[in-house]
């Protein structure tokens, strides 16, 4: 069958073949196979846009799009009383209907992470006098919102993509930083209706193994990690906007004198100079710099303040000051914590005793302690 006949067959149902021989000839046609499989091709070149500035399609509408009409002070006071009555009888430590068996920790366990805010950097010193620059991460009021078991999460759109040809795992939805429900839409507030918590500003999903599942309303604090443990920090890098090749890629630039005209910070030729008269994909050129989601892996925890839920991490993390980051147990095989961490998370002891208010690494010099011993 010719190409014109194939096209007529595709777009005219009256011309569909009636016998098996013609159907087999259509299936063996290379033109038809290429025509029908074209929509399944996926572009994976570097020219494809890498940033998503809009929220995911699976997220509910979060911010209120329109302003409410002006209301009197009495009505505003009444609305706030209703909100307080709705949430005052809800305890974050209530007994959940979700029955989760407690299991022991093993090296293959994948625990939940926490949501934190980068509040700056601070210098500390070890006992030999060497300076250590640490990033201070404030763990916000994290609470478990929902647990999705593996058999249900693999049926979702994101789970089907993430666990394609893999063993499915569970998903734990964690929220941080409670705020006023009046600032959010009804659809977004309904996510917290069953849990009985105030709406959270930030939501995040953590892939976990079933033995590390947590019931809803469980608080997660800085005690989720231990001093000396290596963690991975995930965040969004600083957005520098559209930049040239000198700042974006570190090019040297052109000459500053001897006839150079408007060539001081340019990148030079972008051609190959050989057989291909085109620009190769991935060539370093001016463009959008920053605003990339990145991992910093294997960062060491040097200090934990249990009173204010602050974690001091050695090194830098992605993102500017006051940005939101996620903290996980590290995936690096040589830096994984070999001892059992708080599993599935840290719970205060039943006898009422608390951890130390400030926990330091043994290699650090604690200010206030004697530096010279005789």
Quick one: how far is CA 316 from the chain centroid? 17
114-239+291-360 has which fold?
Elongation Factor Tu (Ef-tu); domain 3 (2.40.30)
Task: Report the C-alpha gap between 240 and 322 in whole angstroms.
Answer: 16
Phi (first) and psi of residue 174, to 5 degrees: -120, 135
Going by C-alpha positions, the residue among 163, 200, 241, 164 that lies closest to residue 87 is 200
Task: Report the C-alpha gap between 183 and 120 in whole angstroms.
Answer: 28
- Tell me the domain boundaries of the chain: 114-239+291-360
Q: Please, which residues bridge with residue 120 across strands?
A: 136
Q: Please, which residues bridge with residue 313 across strands?
A: 135, 301
Q: For 89-116, how does the pLDDT look when each residue is reduced to its tens digit (9 = 90+)?
A: 555 544 444 556 667 888 889 999 999 9
Quick one: how far is CA 58 from the chain centroid? 15
Residue 212, helix vs strand vs coil: helix
Print burial letters for 95-112: b (CB count within 10 Å at least 16), e (below 16): eeeeebeeeebeeebbbb
Q: For 331-359, how does the pLDDT look when each residue is reduced to its tens digit (9 = 90+)?
A: 999 999 888 889 889 988 877 777 788 99
CA 177, 179, 181, 184 dihedral sign is negative
- Say which residue the tokens 């605003």 belong to: 291
Regions in the chain scoring below 70 on pLDDT: 1-60, 65-69, 86-102, 371
Q: How many CB atoms lie within 10 A of CB 246?
A: 16
Q: For residue 175, what is the enclosing H or E element?
A: strand 170-178
Give the predicted TM-score (pTM) of the model: 0.78
Question: Which pLDDT belongs to residue 88?
Answer: 61
Q: How many CB atoms lie within 10 A of CB 239?
A: 14
Residue 64, both tokens: 């209120």
Output the DSSP codes for 127-143: TTS-EEEEEEEEE--EE
112 close to 214: Cβ distance less than 8 angstroms: yes
């Amino acid at each position: 069958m010719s190409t014109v006949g194939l096209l007529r067959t595709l777009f005219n149902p009256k011309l569909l073949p009636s016998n098996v021989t013609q159907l087999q000839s259509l299936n063996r046609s290379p033109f038809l196979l290429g025509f029908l499989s074209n929509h399944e091709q996926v572009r994976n070149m570097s020219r494809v846009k890498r940033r998503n500035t809009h929220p995911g399609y699976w997220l509910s509408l979060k911010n209120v799009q329109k302003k409410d009409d002006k209301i009197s002070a009495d009505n505003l006071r009444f609305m706030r009383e209703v909100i307080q009555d709705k949430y005052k009888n809800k305890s974050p430590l209530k007994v959940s209907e979700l029955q989760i068996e407690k299991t022991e920790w093993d090296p293959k366990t994948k625990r939940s992470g926490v949501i934190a805010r980068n509040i700056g950097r601070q210098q500390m010193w070890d006992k030999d006098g060497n300076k250590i620059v640490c990033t201070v991460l404030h763990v916000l009021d994290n609470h478990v919102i929902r647990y999705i078991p593996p058999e249900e999460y693999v049926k979702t759109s994101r789970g089907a993509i993430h666990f394609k040809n893999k063993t499915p795992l569970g998903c734990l939805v964690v929220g941080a930083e409670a705020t006023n429900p009046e600032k959010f839409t009804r659809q977004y507030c309904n996510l917290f209706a069953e849990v009985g918590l105030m709406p959270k500003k930030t939501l995040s999903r953590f892939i976990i193994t079933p033995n590390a599942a947590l019931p809803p309303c469980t608080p997660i604090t800085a005690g989720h990690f231990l001093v000396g443990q290596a963690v991975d920090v995930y965040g969004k890098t600083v957005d520098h906007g559209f930049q040239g090749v000198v700042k974006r890629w570190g090019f040297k630039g052109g000459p500053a004198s001897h006839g150079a005209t408007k060539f001081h910070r340019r990148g030079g030729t972008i051609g190959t100079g050989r057989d291909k008269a085109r620009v190769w994909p991935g060539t370093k050129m001016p463009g959008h710099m920053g605003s990339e989601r990145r991992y910093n892996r294997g960062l060491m925890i040097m200090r934990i303040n249990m009173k204010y839920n602050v974690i001091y991490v050695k090194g830098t993390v992605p993102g500017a000051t006051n940005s939101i980051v996620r903290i996980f147990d590290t995936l690096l095989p040589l830096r994984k914590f070999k001892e059992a961490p708080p599993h599935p998370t840290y719970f205060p002891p039943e006898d009422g005793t608390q951890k130390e208010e400030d926990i330091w690494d043994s290699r650090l010099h604690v200010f206030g302690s004697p530096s010279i011993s005789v």
